Amino acid sequence: MRRAVLLLLLPLAAAGAVPARRAPAAKPAADAGPALMHVVLQTDWYAQPEHGGFYQALARGFYREQGLDVEIRQGGPTTQPAQMVATGRADFAITDSGTVIVAAGRGIPFVMLGAYMQRDPQAIMFHRESGIRGFRDLDGRNIMAAPGAPFIDILERRYGIRVSITPLDFGMSRFLARPDFIQQCFVTNEPYYVRLHGVDPGVLLISDCGFSPYRVWFASRRLARERPALARAFSRATIRGWLDYIGGDPGPANALIASLNPRMDAPFMDFSVRAMRQYRLVTGDPSADEAVGRIRRGRIATLIGQLAGIGLLDHAVTPDEVLDAGAP
């Protein structure tokens, strides 16, 4: 059976389930000039710091300065951002670059407009006393992870190891109870909660094993082709929002996030922002030609080859199919 791309759709579990609410869109004053263009951004989970740059652009008026009235719709456990864009219920959405590539391999025309994370925050979390120092130390171990996650095949092939998988249940009780337990996590999320229970976890970023998708905002190929000015305006404001959120005061976005998701308290949000800065998830490595928003075609070509190599593409895909010509 073809392995499902479960990892590519994995939500941030520990943020908690709250009723989805709409983020308030900026509204022009009566004498503010031309009407703003209303567009919808669909996220993949409830409001959280991992979406901070989008909320910063909204809270600080960056979208409005570009002539846009952006409505941010929160996701949740059953949200499928790609489906929302494909059916026209959202103009833009966020996911990882692998999902866009797999969709293209199935004939669904999406294009990536920019990357809001240069490095994926997904990681493998373990107890430091387990003796794990690197990926090779996972040989013969059991990992609680999303079955069929692409990184598993790639990890095993690259390091010549074998791991067994326990299906991910999005909880942390077994990790807290067993010093030998290993599980998939988000480096911006679960480590915070296990530390509250007295555990000092170690983490291995999955992007360091050779499988490194971006986190991207994307649209339909039709929107990018027929409304390029809209796509560019949204991308400009989004990049500015992420630069401001990570490099400046994240307070405006965090206040908006907390108003929409009551589980987002200040200590947790501070931890998430610190983790994004520490691991350079958003900014990437300038020496590797990485920057906020930037997508490198060579890296997309590598990712296409990896996904094709494990049988996830129904037909050949090229970088030009999945990248907007004006992407950063």
pLDDT of amino acid 43: 98
CB atoms < 10 A from the CB of 136, how many? 12
pLDDT of amino acid 22: 45
Long-range contacts of 76-83 (CB under 8 A, 24+ apart): 76/11, 76/17, 76/20, 76/45, 76/46, 77/11, 77/17, 79/11, 79/42, 79/43, 79/44, 79/45, 80/9, 81/42, 81/43, 81/44, 82/108, 82/110
What CATH code would you report for 7-119+213-322?
A: 3.40.190.10
Residue 132 has which token pair? 């794990």
Q: Is 123 exposed, middle or buried (0-12, 13-18, 19+ CB in 10 A)?
A: buried
pLDDT of amino acid 196: 95
pLDDT of amino acid 78: 86
Q: What is the pTM of this model?
A: 0.88
pLDDT of amino acid 14: 38
pLDDT of amino acid 328: 73
The side-by-side arrangement of strands in the sheet containing 142-145 is: 164-167, 142-145, 182-186, 122-127, 201-205
Residue 318 has which token pair? 């090229």
C-alpha 106/C-alpha 111 separation (Å) is 14
C-alpha 87/C-alpha 269 separation (Å) is 33
Q: Return the domain boundaries, the chain.
A: 7-119+213-322, 122-209
Would you say the CATH fold of 122-209 matches that of 7-119+213-322?
yes
Per DSSP, the residues of 140-177 read T-EEEE-TT-HHHHHHHHHHT---EEEEP-S--HHHHH
Q: Please identify which residue in the block is written with the tokens 């503010």.
A: 32
The highest-level CATH class for domain 122-209 is alpha beta
What is the mean pLDDT, run by run of 10 residues, along the chain of 328 residues?
35 37 42 81 97 98 98 92 95 96 95 97 96 96 91 93 93 94 96 95 95 96 96 98 98 98 96 98 95 96 95 95 84
